[in-house]
Structure 1
Amino acid sequence: MSGFLSYEMIALLMFSSMMMSMLTGQRVFATIGFVGVVAAAVLWGNGGFEMGFSAGMKLMKWYPLLTLPLFIYMGYMLSESGIAEDLYKAFHVWFGGMPGGLAVGTIGLMVVISAMNGLSVAGMAIGASIALPELLRRGYDKIMVSGVIQAGSSLGILIPPSVVLVLYGMIARQPVSQLWLAGVFPGLMLATMFCLYIIIRCRLNPALGPALPKEERDMPMVEKLKLLRAGILPFLIFFLMMGLFLMGITSLVESSAVGALGALFAAWYKGRLSKAVWNRVLEQTLGISCMFMWIILAALCFGAVFDGLGAVRAIETLLVRDIGLTPWQILIIMQLSFLVMGAFLDDTAMLVIVAPLYIPLVGKLDLGVDNALIWYGVLYTITCQIAYMTPPFGYNLFLMKAMAPPDIRLIDIYRSVLPFVLIMMLGMVIIMIFPQIATWLPSQIYLRG
């Protein structure tokens, strides 16, 4: 086949075949893995079949892969055992006194949930089941609170321990520890930007987020401080897990085991470790973990064929030498294509589709950024956050519709995310202009180590 077509054309044919196959409705990993294996067999004969097997063996030997089920288990255990609900009561009293205060408290809750769970789904479920009914009962605008919960839950894939960054690290062959550290300041920056928007909007129009009546929040400081005890266990688990890791006492996998055991202990200590909770947590952990493993396997197989063709070098030559684009123009085009794909695909599908092309290309571009692939991992993850909330097929949009009361229509949910999507785009631009926001912390920890 290579005698009739150039390697560039073969790479283009693979890419277009993969995109067309996705229109059939098949699962992402099946589509990408199938195209990769078939292309390998056609190009290299019987030996090409071994590429898929080799990718599978590489996946099974990937020791950091053990972190995936452990972190997923930790997040589901903390959410299913109701620990997050206790924490929301504390935010309710502490932030309820100002206009939009409960919405700000909801963002705070989502930040804590994000630090306990590497996925957006858990934050979405907690926000929709705990915060949404309370916010609506307090007279908050239904469109604004829908956007608050969706935006807040999306922080779960950026603030460590992020499962999406683990997935990116495995495919990009970058240290997960540095990716996690790179996500800390961007995640907190976005959370702060969300809070500032809520505060400013509710000060301009207090009807959107009325303050709690004084009698509901007028309690002695001692009682308020007691409410904060709800946050002791989640924060203790997070700081124990991350602290031991950053001090070099535990490895990444050992830290994930510490987090999983901490979540189990917390549920037992609260008296909520029932058989029903245990079964739900294990079922959800198994389902999500298997999905990620299949996706990584497919990405490795497809990427091996793409690398073997030299497609990345050909595209770099086309964009830089033939067309004459600057490295930053290429990066902007890549991000714009991500935003377009995000309207139709989820985060893992986007990563698997573009990983063989974009990740090596970023490594070759002269962007003048230290740890470019670490920095790009943060940009990719923010784009995934936007993808979760972008019509028509944003994942969070449909989750919100499924969990929201009937009076919140789909058009209301679409309208609710617009300001938060714009905020996230602004945040992504800021990190592109000032990459140190993402790269400073991992570089400091790395140098200190």
Structure 2
Amino acid sequence: MRKELWFGVTLMVLIIGGVAWFMPAQGDWTSGHLGLLMLALIVVAIMLGFPTAFTLMGMGVLFSWLAYRNANPEIAVQQTLDLMVQRAYAVMTNDVLISVPLFVFMGYLVERSNLIEKLFRSLHLALAWIPGSLAVATLVTCAIFATATGIVGAVVTLMGLLAFPAMLRAGYSTSMSAGAVTAGGCLGILIPPSVLLIVYGATAGVSVVQLYAGAFFPGLMLTGLYVLYIVLLAKLKPALAPPLPEAERVVPLPPVARTLQARGATHALPALGAGLMRALKGPRNAEVPSAVFARQLGIVLLPALATALVMGTIYSAVTAPAASIAIEAPLSLGGAEESSAAVDDLAAPPAEEPAAPAAAAPATPAAPATSATPSATEADARPPSTPAAAAVAAPRWFWITLAVVGLLLVYFYWRFSFARVEIFKMLLTSFFPLALLILAVLGSIVFGLATPTEAAAVGSLGGALLAAAYRQLNFGVLKESVLLTAKTSAMVCWLFVGSSIFSAAFALLGGQALVEQWVLSMNLSPVQFMILAQLIIFLLGWPLEWTEIIIIFMPIFIPLLDNFGIDPLFFGLLVALNLQTAFLSPPVAMAAFYLKGVAPPHVTLNQIFLGMLPFMGIQVIALVLLYVFPEIGLWLPTVLYR
């Protein structure tokens, strides 16, 4: 018998044995114990390969009928059918789920824009000076592309076709290359816009907007830890990730760059500026038109212009009159309350916004000028010569930041050779369009300009425009994207219907009360409960995928959080970070099978699993860091909404 089959059979025997151990003697069973039996049977059935959604519905209907039959056998069938209809209708009317097909559709369109090859090539050249540059470029490309698509299978497959062979040809370790591709591809289930966060928000009743804001920095932290591991490993063991040969770092230069370089110019900005002036003044550069000089110089000046725009925007924000800041203050969602309960979504009706001035002041501690805002009576009592809304002086941190940014900009242009100009132009056509789309979608959600559903609709339009701009939008691409979106959305919706029926049956049987009674009888502290919950989720990630864990087990964990004073938002961030392991942990490591399907024949599953293990360890480290320093995930939602 194969090792994977032995592992699966052993795990199922342990699950059934554990349930049998906790079951009382025959004749002492209660409805709650039937709920535990249903839970164990569902896990075993899913591990045997039965469809998750229909297994949940089938078990839920059967055990709901048993629960109703114990109460009143005559109307048990009618009550069970009513429950099915009500639960299905509740899923159909859930507004949060509308964003799922829109985000998925955006992802499939971006995937078919053929941007990933250009993105990987440009990042590979831009990061060539870093040890393990190919693996680092793979991780960064995966993070960016996963953010734009959120589809793990698509990212792992595409990077397996593009980056994995390139790393093998460059002499990289097979295990390390496989780990970089699989771990990077899984970032899409954590970094917004993530379907996992939408599913968790709809299941736990937590604002998706705040989940997106909270998951942003943990996602960056996990990506940074991956990159740090690759760089350190390549530095300590160069044989695992040898540096790229010079031939692969060569960037072809256009005629104007070759002309200026032949005359001894090394820095792009002064050479292009002087060349433009000479071209405008006389015929010395007659072989190169002035428009070419101007276009190249404009590209070179783009970083300086973007920096000036960003710093100017920040200066306008920090020096804005106090009155304008006071007007913005009521947009805080948390009011003056700092509780651990989930707060309302950003799309709350504006009728709830008016509040007393005394309560509005502490609601925005991040805006110091609010506390100094005068009341209307005081403003009227001022002398006419005193303006009611005077500009605020820029704080010291702004000038320090401006000085640091200026020094970095000078260093950047000092290193900005003609080859780097060409790499920058490649990034302009690959990285920045995706970054603009991501920032537009996430920024409109996080800053309250649009609900997740509205932002997803705009993102779908942006994905279509991006595909059209790269001449990849045609009827075949559109048809395939729509069909794949329909399949994915149908799967998610059926999972929700099955989960809703299962949760109702579990509650009717008293399984939730039995679990809560058992957990509370252990007299755990909040820290111990959190460790136990995350350990269970980590272990569940070995046999189950994240969809089953969220759909089946989150309705069991969420009601327990109030007993330990744990914020469902923070718990959701820990779960999202923890569930990275669901795609990397054998035997149901879907990322490994995605990569194996497109990898060269000599690459084995054991090599892929071996490469994924260090990244699973990094995920555990990131989970501990997030728990020890919760501000990593809670700072942005607190500043924006509470």
TM, length-normalised to structure 1? 0.93
Residues 204-247 of structure 1, C-alpha deviations (whole Å, 9 max, x = no match):
11121122223433552321211111112111111111222233
Q: Which has the larger radius of gyration?
A: 2
Q: Match of 1:78? A: 110
Q: Deviations over 1:357-415 (max 9, x none)?
A: 11222243234xxxx21111122222221111111221111111111111111111111
Asked whether 1:29 is paired with 2:57, we answer: no
**Alignment match of 1:198 (pick from 201, 224, 230):** 230
Note the 1:168-187 alignment, pairs <5 A.
Answer: 168-187=200-219
The answer for the alignment partner of 1:128 in structure 2 is 160
Letter in 2 for 1:208: L
Report if the CA contact (8 A) 2:178-2:608 is conserved: yes
Give the conservation status (yes or no) of the 8 Å contact 1:78–1:84.
no
In the superposition, relative to structure 1, how do residues 205 and 21 fare at CA in structure 2: closer, same or farther (>3 Å)?
A: closer
Report which stretch shifted further, 164-173 or 278-287: 278-287
Moved more, 156-165 or 49-58: 49-58
Alpha-carbon shift at residue 4 of structure 1 (Å): 7.8
Check if 1:438 corresponds to 2:638: no
Counterpart-to-counterpart distance in 2, 1:109 and 1:295: 31
Does the CA-based 8 Å contact 2:53-2:498 persist in structure 1?
A: yes
Inter-CA distance 360–385: structure 2 relative to 1 (3 Å threshold): same
Q: In 1, Cα distance between the equivalents of 2:37 and 2:237?
A: 54
- 1-side partners of 2:564 and 2:88: how far apart? 30
User: SS at 1:441's partner residue?
Assistant: helix
User: Distance in 2 between the 1:247 and 1:333 partners?
Assistant: 35
Match of 1:140 in 2: 172
Output the CA distance in 2 between the equivalents of 1:111 and 1:419.
Answer: 18
AA paired with 1:302? F
After superposition, the C-alpha distances for 1:163-198 in whole angstroms (9 at most, x for unaligned) are 011111111111111111111111100100000000
Gaps of 5+ in 1: none
Which blocks of at least 5 consecutive residues in structure 2 are unaligned?
1-26, 69-75, 252-417
Task: Tell me the CA shift for residue 270 of structure 1.
Answer: 0.8
Q: 2-side partners of 1:104 and 1:30: how far apart?
A: 41
Cα separation, 2, equivalents of 1:106 and 1:382: 20
CA RMSD after TM alignment: 1.8
Percent of paired sites with the same residue: 31
Q: Relative contact order: is structure 1 or structure 2 higher (C-alpha 8 Å, sep ≥ 6)?
A: 2
Counterpart contact for 2:197–2:211, Cα < 8 Å: yes
User: What is the TM-score of this pair, normalised by structure 2?
Assistant: 0.66
Task: Identify which of 466, 479, 482 aligns with 1:282.
Answer: 482
How much has 1:62 moved relative to structure 2?
0.8
2:133 aligned partner: 101
Q: Which amino acid aligns with 1:43?
A: A
Change (3 A) 1:135 1:332: same
Higher helix share: 1
Q: Which amino acid aligns with 2:541?
A: G
1:52 to 80, 84, 90: 84
Q: CA deviation at 1:24?
A: 4.5
Q: Distance in 2 between matches of 1:68 and 1:154?
A: 18
Which residue identity does 1:281 align to in structure 2?
A: S
Quote the Cα distance in structure 2 between the aligned partners of 1:203 and 1:412: 22
**1:228 equivalenced with 2:228 (yes/no):** no
Q: How many residues align structurally?
A: 440
The one-letter code matched in structure 2 to 1:242 is: L
Q: How does 1:292-303 map to 2 (within 5 A)?
A: 292-303=492-503
Choose the corresponding residue for 1:358, options 549, 552, 557.
557
Matched, 1:305 2:505: yes
Q: Whole-Å Cα distance in 2 between the matches of residues 437 and 310 of structure 1? A: 37
8 Å CA contact retained: 1:302, 1:356: no
Q: How big is each residue's C-alpha offset from its partner over 1:79-99, in whole Å with a ceiling of 9 and x where there is no partner?
A: 122012211111011012332
Quote the offset at 1:280 in angstroms.
2.5
Q: Which residue of 1 aligns with 2:439?
A: 239
Q: Secondary structure at the match of 1:207?
A: coil
8 Å CA contact 1:124–1:150 kept in 2: the answer is: yes
SS in 1 for 2:239: helix
